[in-house]
Amino acid sequence: CLLADHGFRLLAQAVEADRRYEPGCPVLLLCGEKDGAGSCRRYDKAWAKAEGLPLVWVPEAGHNANTDAPDFVNSHIEGFARKLFL
């Protein structure tokens, strides 16, 4: 519980500070359609829209989409990487 509390406090502080984060590499967002952890779906959708990032909704997956649908997630990551290096 203490670890979760700490993580949510850090997230709240980051959201409150409204700082922009500029990743220095290509980005692919993956989010489980059934992700119920905090506001992940809402934040991912807004981030993708604001920055023009690709967002893949992982069917029937929750917060750990890579565990819930590993073949689906891996195929999208591989396709994303392949486009970068070809």
Per-residue pLDDT reduced to its tens digit, 47-59: 899 889 999 999 9
Sign for the CA dihedral angle at 39, 42, 48, 49 comes to negative
- How far is it, in rounded angstroms, from Cα 5 to Cα 38? 12
Give burial (CB, 10 Å; 0-12/13-18/19+) of 65. buried
pLDDT band at 2; cut points 50, 70, 90: confident
Q: b/e per residue, 38-61, with b = 16+ CB within 10 A?
A: eebbeebeeebeeeeeeebbbeeb
pLDDT, average across residues 55-79: 95
* H or E stretch at 55: strand 55-58
pLDDT band at 17; cut points 50, 70, 90: confident
pTM of the model: 0.72
